[in-house]
């Protein structure tokens, strides 16, 4: 049926034409189906705002029946998983500073003696508060647990100690972010997120644009080697990355009052590796994409898992193990640990070696893939 202003035949032909184009551009069609599916799986399975089984270290200087009862109840709460029992307070502090554990419980000597005497002893809970969302529910749970956890052991002549207030107190010490300000966690992370998006996308677009315009053919006629071409394409964006970093750090300090305890020189050195890793990914995408639209789609497909599985939006330890393994592959995960550790904790080179090594391996792998793909393009 047709009208004066609409022809059903023409309208149907245009619809068929659009479907044919979608079918020919298989990458775009796959992205339209893949991105929603990926978001559904990540938000449905991997994202958890109530993390449990958080790594905990216990420095027990009492070793009594009361402390064993408390620690057993702690593990049964599902929020805490005791993975280390340091012998000294310095060892415990080092575990917290490196990010190996989320909590450190300090049980003083003579805790049980003071408890029996009714002098109301105290335990100390040190919490890594760089990410307040990761510690809030666990701290609430342990405070509730401490109120009556020892009641079963307070029998006979000790029954009177069951009365309120609790027989002992739990002092919570939120380290590195005492006020629980989310800006301390989010603002440094934004730097990594922005660099991931811009570095991957801009590099992918820069190379793909040359292919579309035909200028890549002129580049191929030069004696420049594939590695030289790759480095020549990414080095200008390294400078752009440092400019972005300077702007964000200045804003973080003067607008949000984010502390910068550690060495900015160390951060600058690590930044070079992080930016280079993302640029290598962008260069790889440029060798796979046939046009700029596909390059943007690939960049988005890399960016979404990075922002969701790195610990930027949701607590990293709250994700299932399989999601954490995927997150460990992504350079943004390690960069977030490094920048928060340097700015908020004052971490040094020895504290960040594991994360630097992981980013270096990713950079090497991405570089090898990019160079191999580029050589195939030359052939």
Tens of pLDDT, residue by residue over 198-219, are 999 988 888 788 777 777 667 6
Res. 36 pLDDT band, cuts 50 70 90: confident
Res. 2 pLDDT band, cuts 50 70 90: very low
Predicted local distance difference test score (pLDDT) of residue 370: 83
- For the chain, what percent of residues have pLDDT higher than 70? 89
Residues shown for the chain: 379
Q: Give the DSSP H or E segment for 178.
A: none
- Summarised one tens digit per residue, pLDDT across range 85-132 is 999 989 999 999 998 999 999 998 888 888 777 778 888 999 998 888
What is the average pLDDT across 54-81? 87
Tell me phi and psi for residue 6, to 5 degrees: -140, 130
* CATH 3.40.1710.10 domain locations along the chain: 54-175
Predicted local distance difference test score (pLDDT) of residue 161: 55
What is the average pLDDT across 59-82? 86
Beta bridge partners of 7: 2
Distance CA(372)–CA(280), nearest Å, equals 12
Distances (CA, A) of 367 to 116, 299, 349: 64, 16, 24
DSSP assignment, residue 263? Answer: -
Q: Which residue has better confidence, 167 or 267?
A: 267
Q: What is the token pair recorded at 162?
A: 């069951």
Whole-model pTM?
A: 0.84
The pLDDT of residue 234 is above 90 = no
- Summarised one tens digit per residue, pLDDT across range 328-359 is 999 999 999 999 999 999 999 999 999 999 99
Q: Could you tell me the fold of the domain covering 54-175?
A: abc type-2 transporter like fold (3.40.1710)
């Amino acid at each position: 049926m047709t009208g004066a202003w609409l022809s059903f035949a023409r309208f149907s032909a245009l619809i068929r034409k659009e479907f044919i184009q979608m079918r020919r551009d298989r990458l775009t069609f796959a992205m339209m189906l893949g991105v929603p599916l990926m978001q559904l799986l990540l938000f449905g399975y991997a994202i958890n705002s109530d993390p449990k089984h958080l790594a905990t270290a216990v420095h027990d200087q009492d070793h009594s029946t009361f402390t064993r009862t408390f620690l057993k109840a702690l593990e049964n709460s599902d929020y805490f998983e005791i993975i280390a029992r340091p012998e000294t307070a310095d060892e415990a502090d080092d575990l917290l500073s490196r990010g190996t554990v989320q909590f450190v419980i300090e049980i003083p000597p003579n805790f049980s003696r003071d408890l029996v005497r009714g002098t109301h002893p105290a335990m100390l809970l040190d919490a890594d508060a760089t990410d307040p969302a990761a510690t809030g529910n666990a701290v609430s749970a342990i405070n509730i647990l401490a109120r009556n956890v020892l009641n079963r052991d307070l029998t006979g002549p000790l029954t009177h100690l069951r009365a309120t207030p609790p027989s002992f107190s739990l002092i919570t010490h939120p380290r590195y972010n005492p006020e629980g300000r989310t800006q301390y966690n989010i603002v440094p992370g934004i730097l990594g997120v922005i660099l991931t998006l811009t570095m991957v996308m801009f590099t992918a677009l820069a190379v793909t644009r040359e292919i579309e315009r035909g200028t890549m053919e002129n580049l191929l006629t030069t004696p420049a080697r594939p590695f030289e071409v790759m480095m020549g394409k990414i080095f200008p964006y390294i400078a752009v990355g440092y400019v972005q970093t300077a702007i964000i750090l200045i804003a973080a300090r003067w607008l949000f009052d984010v502390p910068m305890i550690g060495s900015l020189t160390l951060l600058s050195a690590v930044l070079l590796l992080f930016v280079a890793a993302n640029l290598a990914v962008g260069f790889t995408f440029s060798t796979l994409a046939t046009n700029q639209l596909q390059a943007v789609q690939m960049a988005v497909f890399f960016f979404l898992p990075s922002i969701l599985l790195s610990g930027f939006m949701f607590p990293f330890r709250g994700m299932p193990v399989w999601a954490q393994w995927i997150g460990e592959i992504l350079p943004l995960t390690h960069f977030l640990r490094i920048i928060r550790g340097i700015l908020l904790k004052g971490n040094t080179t020895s504290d960040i070696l594991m994360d630097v090594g992981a980013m270096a391996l990713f950079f090497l792998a991405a570089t090898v893939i990019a160079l191999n793909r580029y050589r195939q393009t030359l052939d």
